[in-house]
């Protein structure tokens, strides 16, 4: 798969929480860091996501905000 997004992080699915329309996917990217993504239940099913799957987290945003 080729994509234009440059922010790609390899990880492992450690949890899936279903929802009515969107589900939550938790991905361990190492170093004690977990990234949580909210995606449609349809996308979860199409990707066949399951706990233990090796995946790539892809971050594509027009702006990233940081607060302190």
How much is the mean pLDDT over the chain? 92
Q: Would residue 28 count as lying in a domain?
A: yes
pLDDT in tens, 37-57: 999 999 999 999 999 999 999
Domain count, the chain: 1
Closest CA to 50 of 5, 18, 2: 18
Residue % of the chain over a pLDDT of 90: 74
Residue-level pLDDT at 14: 98
Please determine, for residue 1, whether its predicted confidence score (pLDDT) is greater than 90: no
Q: Would residue 62 count as lying in a domain?
A: no
| Residues 14/26, Cβ–Cβ less than 8 Å | yes
Question: Residue 11's domain spans which residues?
Answer: 7-50
b/e per residue 6-36 (b: at least 16 CB within 10 A): eeeeebebeeeeeeeebbebbbeeeeeeeee
């Amino acid at each position: 798969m080729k994509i234009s997004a440059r922010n790609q992080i390899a990880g492992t699915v450690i949890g899936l929480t279903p929802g009515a329309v969107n589900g939550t996917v938790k991905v361990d990217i190492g170093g004690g860091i977990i990234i949580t993504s909210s995606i449609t239940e349809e996308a979860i099913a199409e990707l066949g996501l399951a706990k233990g799957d090796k995946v790539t987290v892809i971050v594509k945003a027009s702006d990233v905000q940081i607060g302190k």
